[in-house]
């Protein structure tokens, strides 16, 4: 499906969405989504710098389709190469893999800051909103957070973005403060939100419940594992 055919499916597409790490080759699609979602979109150069040089940054995308066999796919370490190695062309087999990846319908990311994970962005293509993609991306954020050993998750959200606030509250975030005039385009305040400790019984129970509900919404038995070790890390914290 091309970007020009977004929203053309009558139904059933939601079950064919999966999480994957963001690559440099994804940035054109990420930029499209940024422009749809934000009045101040991040430029591709910012994402390029994050992917190449920031070892404490983790960015993922939601793709239409089904994930490829991991045994046949290049490793994340191979695809995410630091500068200057990122300037060297990929081998032909990797280039073929990159060219065949599926349409991106959303993306998100976080920074690891001491013992916390700070969500930097989350966005979904306009034609694919309100179908669980944003929630799927949030589950990916929590998977990464458990995997890197962070104790809690935080973010800022526009005061006027009540829809996003409801989603975050649903997943255990609560308001702890305000950053006055945080957004430079209109001087809007930002609401600061935090989760409770991820290894607390209340958060473990809530996230398990939300994953079950999301799987039912997507029409699948369970949210599939996509990040090696994520579920094991979650279990160890229990």
Alpha helices in 38-182 (DSSP H): 44-53, 76-79, 92-99, 133-148, 162-170
65: three-class secondary structure by DSSP = coil
Catalytic (active site) residue 128? no
7: three-class secondary structure by DSSP = coil
Rounded to whole angstroms, the maximal C-alpha distance in the chain is 50
20 to 44, 59, 88, 189, 227: CA distances (angstroms): 18, 9, 22, 32, 8
pLDDT of residue 93: 46
CB of 161 within 8 A of CB of 148?
A: no
State how far the Cα of 88 lies from the Cα of 91, in Å rounded to an integer.
Answer: 9
Catalytic (active site) residue 156? yes
Catalytic position from the list 32, 36, 151, 156:
156
Structure tokens at 167: 């989603």
Backbone angles phi, psi at 90, to 5 degrees: -70, 155
Beta strands in the chain (DSSP E): 17-21, 57-64, 104-113, 116-124, 152-158, 173-183, 188-195
pLDDT of residue 228: 65
Structure tokens at 152: 């809690």
Catalytic position from the list 59, 97, 168, 171:
168
Closest CA to 220 of 143, 145, 136: 136
Cis before 84? omega within 30? yes
Alpha helices in 100-229 (DSSP H): 133-148, 162-170, 201-218
This prediction's pTM: 0.78
Structure tokens at 40: 């101040």
Q: Where are the domains of the chain?
A: 13-237
State how far the Cα of 37 lies from the Cα of 234, in Å rounded to an integer.
Answer: 31
State how far the Cα of 113 lies from the Cα of 153, in Å rounded to an integer.
Answer: 10
* pLDDT tens track, the chain, 238 positions: 333 333 333 234 444 789 999 999 999 999 999 999 998 999 999 999 999 999 999 999 999 887 764 433 444 444 444 555 455 554 554 444 444 458 999 999 999 999 999 999 999 999 899 999 999 999 999 999 999 999 999 999 999 999 999 999 999 999 999 999 999 999 999 999 999 999 999 999 999 999 999 999 888 888 888 886 544 443 443 3
CATH (residue range 13-237): 3.40.630.30
pLDDT of residue 68: 62
């Amino acid at each position: 499906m091309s970007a020009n055919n977004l929203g053309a499916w009558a139904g059933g597409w939601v079950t064919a969405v999966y999480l994957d790490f963001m690559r440099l080759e994804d940035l054109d699609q990420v930029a499209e989504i940024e422009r749809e979602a934000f009045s101040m979109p991040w430029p591709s150069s910012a994402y390029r710098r994050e992917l190449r040089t920031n070892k404490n940054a983790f960015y993922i995308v939601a793709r239409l389709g089904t994930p490829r066999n991991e045994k046949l796919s290049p490793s994340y370490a191979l695809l995410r190469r630091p500068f200057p190695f990122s300037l060297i062309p990929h081998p032909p087999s990797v280039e073929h893999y990159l060219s065949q990846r599926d349409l991106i319908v959303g993306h998100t990311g976080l920074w690891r800051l001491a013992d916390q994970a700070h969500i930097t962005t989350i966005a979904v293509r306009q034609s694919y909103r309100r179908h669980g993609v944003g929630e799927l991306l949030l589950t990916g954020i929590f998977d990464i957070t458990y995997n890197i050993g962070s104790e809690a998750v935080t973010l800022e959200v526009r005061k006027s973005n009540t829809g996003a606030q409801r989603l975050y509250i649903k997943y255990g975030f609560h308001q702890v403060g305000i950053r006055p005039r945080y957004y430079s385009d209109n001087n809007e305040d930002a609401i600061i939100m935090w989760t409770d400790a991820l290894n607390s019984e209340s958060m473990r129970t809530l996230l398990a419940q939300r994953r079950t509900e999301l799987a039912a919404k997507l029409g699948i038995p369970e949210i599939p594992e996509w990040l090696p070790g994520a579920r094991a890390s979650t279990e160890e914290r229990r």
